[in-house]
């Protein structure tokens, strides 16, 4: 019997490809979960999706999913976020790994958690995607009981957000390019779950060169036209190089 050498060779290559990611020893699956924070001008919110899958069906959860064999964990986080919530082109940064042995009843799963921040102007545009039953903003103080260990993950994400607010320029990832000082103060208060003296906050904030005045808002409010400001990243980096203390580290 004559054997087609090229055909046999192709079969061998395909067999090798199917075994490429198969290992003798057990190993965990990997997921990416994104904790999406949004600010509506007054309160801090977190974006949740309602699960349509059998496991924790109809429960609220953090958007995320399993990493594909041919993508990075960052690519996985962005893909899942887009598929489940239609959120794209947002600040996204890895902050922690959760690897408790029994955190997922389906199999051994570890997850890489990401902070995702949606600007104030984009807050109302978030909707559910094809891979989730529903997507909805929840006020951080009103988050329900979630699937898996997602309540713990949100708590850790909030603590990380507070930490970064004290030492980085992360606040300006939640505000629009143009913002008012009261909006900035409201954001800081919402993140830190506290209140600040208005005069002290105003005076301290405007003392920094990276917060620049840009005129008055074209949209009037009762008895006034709010003053608008913007964040100058270059000036911030120069200021940060000269001193370590950040303006919102009260």
Question: What is the set of active-site residues?
Answer: 134
Six-digit token pair at 177? 């390019």
Report the alpha-carbon distance of residue 128 to residue 85 in Å, rounded. Answer: 4
Q: Using alpha carbons, list the distances in angstroms from residue 121 to 83, 168, 177, 213, 225.
A: 21, 21, 9, 19, 19
> Which residue reads 């545009």 in tokens?
125
- The residue among 89, 94, 91, 79 whose CA lies nearest residue 153 is 94
């Amino acid at each position: 019997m004559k054997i087609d050498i090229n055909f046999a060779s192709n079969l061998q290559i395909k067999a090798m490809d199917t075994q490429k990611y198969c290992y003798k020893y057990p190993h965990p699956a990997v997921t990416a979960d994104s904790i999406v924070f949004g600010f509506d001008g007054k309160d801090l919110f977190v974006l949740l999706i309602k699960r349509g899958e059998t496991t924790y069906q109809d429960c609220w959860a953090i958007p995320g999913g399993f990493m594909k064999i041919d993508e990075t964990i960052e690519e996985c986080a962005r893909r899942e976020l887009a598929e489940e919530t239609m959120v794209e082109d947002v600040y996204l940064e890895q902050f922690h790994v959760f690897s408790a042995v029994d955190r997922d009843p389906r199999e051994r799963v570890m997850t890489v958690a990401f902070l995702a921040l949606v600007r104030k102007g984009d807050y109302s545009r978030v909707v559910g995607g094809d891979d989730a039953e529903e997507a909805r903003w929840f006020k951080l103080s009103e988050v329900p009981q979630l699937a898996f260990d997602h309540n713990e993950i949100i708590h850790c994400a909030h603590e990380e957000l507070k930490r970064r607010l004290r030492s980085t320029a992360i606040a300006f990832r939640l505000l629009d390019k143009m913002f008012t000082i009261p909006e900035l103060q409201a954001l800081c208060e919402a993140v830190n779950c506290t209140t600040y003296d208005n005069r002290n906050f105003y005076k301290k904030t405007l003392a920094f060169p990276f917060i620049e005045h840009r005129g008055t808002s074209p949209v009037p409010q009762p008895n006034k036209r709010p003053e608008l400001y913007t964040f100058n990243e270059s000036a911030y980096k120069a200021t940060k190089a000269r001193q370590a203390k950040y303006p919102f580290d009260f």
